[in-house]
Amino acid sequence: MRNIEMALADCRIIDLPKISDPRGNLTFIEGARHIPFEIKRVYYLYDVPGGAERGAHGHRKLQQFLISMSGAFDVILDDGFETKKFHMNRSYYGLYISPMMWRDITNFSSGAVLMVLASEPYEASDYFRDYEQFLAAARAIR
Ligand code: T46
């Protein structure tokens, strides 16, 4: 965990290259260049029904990078002290989320696709699903 920042201020938008030409836009991601962790998993959310909310949990170690591949959604991050909202609606930037961050993902537009690059394989024991437990742990490390 050393060298990994875990404050809300470390969660940030990272711009990706955008190559535009008359045929449309192209964005690429080179792991070691654009993403501040080694990518070990990729997953995506799609066909999200209107009004549905995802997330509502935190991670002990996981780092993630969220990109709106289509449409829009909001990500609300909470480090146990303060919250910050990010509106995601472009494919040429992503949101880096450090460990120990509660996240709620809301306001999915119709047809939204959320792609996630993750620093670890799926591990159920990495999750805080209970907000009070998360809060106690998050406040204890700062
Ligand atoms: C996050 C948001 C954006 C797996 O089996 N493998 C996986 O890689 C993932 C992510 C989930 N699952 C299973 C676990 C649950 O049975 O899929 C089911 C739904 O997972 P969850 O409730 O965690 O899904 P979201 O969309 O609420 O949250 C996920 C990530 O867990 C989370 O880290 O930031 O997407």
With a 6 A CB cut-off, is 54 part of the ligand 1 pocket?
Answer: yes
The answer to whether 61 and 99 are in contact (CB under 8 A) is yes
Number of H helices, E strands in the chain: 2, 12
**Which H or E run contains 132?**
helix 131-140
CA distance 110 to 106: 12
Q: Which protein residue has the closest C-alpha to ligand 1 atom 34? A: 55
pTM: 0.96
pLDDT tens digits for 17-65?
999 999 999 999 999 999 999 999 999 999 999 999 999 999 999 999 9
Alpha helices in 9-130 (DSSP H): 31-34
DSSP letter for each residue of 32-47: HHH-SS---EEEEE-S
Whole-number Å distance, alpha carbon 48 to ligand 1 midpoint, is 13
